[in-house]
Amino acid sequence: MRVFIVKDYEELSVQAAQIVAGQIYVKPNSVLGLATGSTPLFMYHHLIRIYKEYGLDFSEVTTFNLDEYVGLPEADKKSYHYYMYDNFFRHVNLDQKKIHLPDGMAASVDAECLAYEKAIQECGGIDLQVLGIGQNGHIGFNEPDEKFEAYTHEVKLKQDTIEANARFFADISEVPTRAISMGIKTIMQAKKVVLLANGSNKAEAVYRAVCEGITPEIPASILQLHQDVIVIIEEGAAQYLKDRLTFQQKEKILFFNKIHECSKIIAS
């Protein structure tokens, strides 16, 4: 796990976009796992900028989104379908046939979960998975639990997740209580993972995910076992890391930050 602490949300977004763009440059037919919410929003804006200014080609890319609310049609402005098309998909040259999101209006949610998982596997799995982290440590909509859910599944959302997402709705009563989410095993099978964390409200979850034991009570902690994870954290979300990391952990973060600074100098 490589940890980079950056000064603000803008730098987090730029660095995340550069990683995604680099993946596409290296492998034009990459399979990307994509996240929604406020954290990756500016990453998408920067990817659009790279597409327009530098000709980043998305035409061979396949995408799979992490999750979708159950009961929201694609045209609903609060759905993740709408979010992705409004903020990213319609602004770049993605092949519409290669865009995948769970269908929250499926007649059978169980059948939709199985079909979504099959589609991911038929594409050979995910090359690069982008993740945010919830205040309770969730990734995707994999909520704290007594066990890790392996594959794409239906989730009953925790109250704190509902409350956190209420800012996107007119009233908390409008927030869906169930969702379809890619599972932990599917996420862990991605060849590379980028975890993004922004805001002091995520600081405790970040610390527990990065520094404490692996437990389904903090789903993001499972990423400690992944062979290729980059964690990009802005300073507010990193406040407990700075205060409570062991000396060895601090030295490791400083080391990777130095590499990161050198890479920016070389790139310029």
Residue 220, amino acid: A
Residue 143 falls in the annotated catalytic set: yes
Q: Is the pLDDT of residue 120 over 60?
A: yes
| Model confidence, pTM | 0.88
As a whole number, the mean pLDDT across the chain is 89
pLDDT for res 264:
45
3 state SS of 95? coil
Q: What percent of the chain has pLDDT over 70?
A: 90
Residue 256 to residue 249: CA distance in whole angstroms: 11
- Give the pLDDT of residue 262: 41
pLDDT digits (tens, 9 = 90+) for 177-187: 899 999 999 99
Confidence at residue 267, expressed as pLDDT on a 0 to 100 scale: 39
Query: Region 86-106: what's the mean pLDDT?
Result: 97
Average pLDDT of the segment spanning 74-94: 96
- Per-domain boundaries in the chain: 8-184
Q: Is 260 a catalytic residue?
A: no
Q: Which residue has the higher pLDDT, 251 or 41?
A: 41
pLDDT at position 243:
59
Confidence of residue 93 (pLDDT cuts 50, 70, 90): very high
Please tell me which residue in 46, 65, 67, 198 is annotated as part of the active site: 67
- The residue behind tokens 């300073």 is 235
Candidates 68, 127, 143, 235; catalytic one: 143
By mean pLDDT, which of 138-142, 143-147, 217-221 is the weakest? 143-147
**136 tagged catalytic:** yes
Contacts of 22 (CB under 8 A, 6+ apart): none
Please say if the pLDDT value at position 146 is more than 80: no
Fold classification of 8-184 (topology level): Rossmann fold (3.40.50)
Q: Is the pLDDT of residue 37 over 60?
A: yes
Q: What is the pLDDT of residues 212-249, one digit of tens each?
A: 999 999 999 999 999 999 999 999 999 998 655 544 44
* Cβ partners under 8 Å of residue 213, min gap 6: 221
Looking at residue 263, its pLDDT comes to 40
pLDDT above 90 for 149: no
> Does 233 or 262 have the greater pLDDT score?
233
Say which residue the tokens 């070389």 belong to.
266
Pick the catalytic residue from 65, 136, 142, 198.
136
What distance in Å separates the CA atoms of residue 162 and residue 70, rounded to the nearest whole number?
A: 13
Q: How confident is the model at residue 160 (pLDDT cuts 50, 70, 90)?
A: confident
Residues 6+ apart with CB under 8 A from 83: 36
Task: Please say if the pLDDT value at position 255 is more than 70.
Answer: no
The CA distance from 142 to 210, in Å, is: 17
Q: Supply 58's token pair.
A: 């998305």
Q: Facing residues of 65 across strands?
A: 34
